[in-house]
Amino acid sequence: MNEPMTHRERMRACLSGAPTDRVPVALWRHFPVDDQSPETLVAATLHWQRVYDFDFVKVTPASSFCLKDWGVGDVWEGHTEGTRRYTKRVITRPEDWARLPELDPTSEHLAAQLECLRLVRAGLDAETPFIQTVFSPLAQAKNLAGNDTLLAHIRLYPDAVMQGLETIARSTRRFVEAALETGIDGIFYAIQHAQAGLLSAEEYKTFGLPLDQQVIEPAKSSWLNVLHLHGHDIHPSLFSILCSLFPIVNWHDRETAPSLAEALETQTSEVSETSEVLRAVCGGLRQDTLALGNPAQVREEAEDAIQQTRGRKFILSTGCVVPVIAPHGNLQAVAQIGNLRYKEER
């Protein structure tokens, strides 16, 4: 290839399995304190992209952006992932689930995030795709109630929890519809409860999957939807089902099964037989390597990931957010690693 691809061209080629001029690369992080207003989150997000020039931009608000209109409180206390601690929950008793009102996208904090997306779109060049983070209803319920309370209520008061989850799902679907109107290229859909240590596969199929399908329905025509499966020990059956709904899957591949190579081989073959969704895997780098390692260690992990995937249908990234303590040299190394190519064995 004589001319470098644009970010958009490179990502589209990656998803179709076509040759690319280099491996696509994307990293994202939280911007604590800056994530408390649309203007400062936009400034931080655009600065991040100007410095590293990634192949797509993930807009990463605090997880409370979709919950504050229900009354939660949270505080920044220096967590290395950039996340905030919840100081006020709104669900304590089973009957509280039924009291959740359905939110409109014009609600104060949801509207602020939509304004953030409009400003990001205006600040990016047209060839740089961007996506909005959307948390699953269960992930939101965890922060409304606390995870221990959520799991206890699911097992003791399932009908009450389902009523609340349905309200959350309707509110989130409406937000997704409004977000699409701002010009985003897709959603980054974060699922946290498909882990064997939290729910059984059957529990997730009851309390998670139907609502996930409802929330993501408006975004199905978008080309850059990313599934993020958070945590360890993801149920293999859920991994397959959820991957069939998204063109890109991101998970903690360096810390839990499957590997990049296993997922790409299995999911590509399954999807090709049952769906026209094109599959790509996104990951390859440990958060600890980016935060505590050095550029040589970053390059070593990246080279291994490229070899696992043969550089096809692969986006180099981490399994989750970049820690806020990650040094510039390591991040710059990632931005430059995309030029590595898969070396065919001869």
Mean pLDDT, consecutive 10-residue stretches, the chain (346 aa), reads 88 95 97 98 98 98 98 98 98 98 98 98 98 99 98 98 99 98 98 98 98 98 98 97 96 97 78 56 98 98 96 97 98 85 43
What's the pLDDT score for residue 339?
65
Going from the C-alpha of 346 to that of each of 152, 224, 308, 309, 343, the distances in angstroms are 56, 35, 16, 17, 9
What's the pLDDT score for residue 265?
87
Q: Which residues of 66-81 are buried (b: 16+ CB within 10 A; e: fewer)?
A: bbbbbebebeeeeeeb
Please check whether residue 184 is in contact with residue 133, taking contact to mean a CB–CB distance below 8 angstroms. Answer: no
What's the pLDDT score for residue 272?
47
If you compute the radius of gyration of the chain from its CA atoms, what whole number of angstroms results? 19
* Residues whose CB is less than 8 angstroms from the CB of residue 163 and which lie 6 or more positions away in sequence, other chains included: 97, 98
Look-up of token digits 């993801």: 234
Distance CA 17, CA 15 (A): 6
Strand duo 280-285 + 248-251: pairing: parallel
Strand duo 248-251 + 226-229: pairing: parallel
Distance CA 54, CA 100 (A): 39
What's the pLDDT score for residue 338?
65
Distance CA 287, CA 290 (A): 5
Distance CA 7, CA 27 (A): 14
What's the pLDDT score for residue 278?
47
Q: Which residues of 273-294 are buried (b: 16+ CB within 10 A; e: fewer)?
A: eeeebbbbbbbbbbbebbbebe
Please check whether residue 164 is in contact with residue 97, taking contact to mean a CB–CB distance below 8 angstroms. Answer: yes
Please check whether residue 308 is in contact with residue 316, taking contact to mean a CB–CB distance below 8 angstroms. Answer: no
Domain 7-335 fold is: TIM Barrel (3.20.20)
* Residues whose CB is less than 8 angstroms from the CB of residue 313 and which lie 6 or more positions away in sequence, other chains included: 14, 15, 17, 264, 268, 278, 279, 280, 281
